[in-house]
Amino acid sequence: MTEVRCVHCLQTREGITGYAYGGKLEAEIKSKICHACWQEWKGMSIKIINEYRLDLNDPNANKTLIDQMRAFLNMPDTEGQPK
Ligand SMILES: [Zn+2]
């Protein structure tokens, strides 16, 4: 089992297995977030989707969710994209 130094709980714990949004973002998440915190975010994401009434087929809604995820997981966007 791969271990990861998690930026959310600041512990070295079991990494994420399975799907995590895909692509570069998935690689970043898997290198920075542990399994337990990912489960925590998954629970939180459902609340956020309901609260903001996000339609995940909408790219803007998807971006809102990713922004929320980065804030929640303490994983700021390091690619320097302007807000
Ligand atoms: Zn963690």
Q: In this structure, what CATH number is given to the domain that contains residue 54?
A: 1.10.3880.10
The average pLDDT across 36-63 equals: 96
Number of domains making up the chain? 1
Q: What is the pLDDT of residue 7?
A: 97
How far is the centre of ligand 1, averaged over its atoms, from the C-alpha of 46 (Å)? 19
Determine the Cα–Cα distance for residues 44 and 32; give it in Å rounded to an integer.
18
Task: Give the count of beta carbons closer than 10 Å to the beta carbon of residue 34.
Answer: 23
Indicate whether 55 belongs to any domain: yes
How far is the centre of ligand 1, averaged over its atoms, from the C-alpha of 76 (Å)? 15
At 82, is the pLDDT very low, low, confident or very high (cuts 50, 70, 90)? low
- Decide if pLDDT at 5 tops 70: yes
How far is the centre of ligand 1, averaged over its atoms, from the C-alpha of 30 (Å)? 11
Q: How much of the chain is helix, strand and coil, in % rounded to 5?
A: 50, 10, 40
What letter represents residue 26's amino acid? Answer: E
Q: Which domain holds residue 25?
A: 3-73
Indicate whether 81 belongs to any domain: no
Indicate whether 42 belongs to any domain: yes
Indicate whether 83 belongs to any domain: no
- Decide if pLDDT at 81 tops 80: no
Q: What is the pLDDT of residue 80?
A: 60
How far is the centre of ligand 1, averaged over its atoms, from the C-alpha of 35 (Å)? 7
Indicate whether 32 belongs to any domain: yes
Q: How many residues does the chain have?
A: 83
How far is the centre of ligand 1, averaged over its atoms, from the C-alpha of 40 (Å)? 9
At 78, is the pLDDT very low, low, confident or very high (cuts 50, 70, 90)? confident
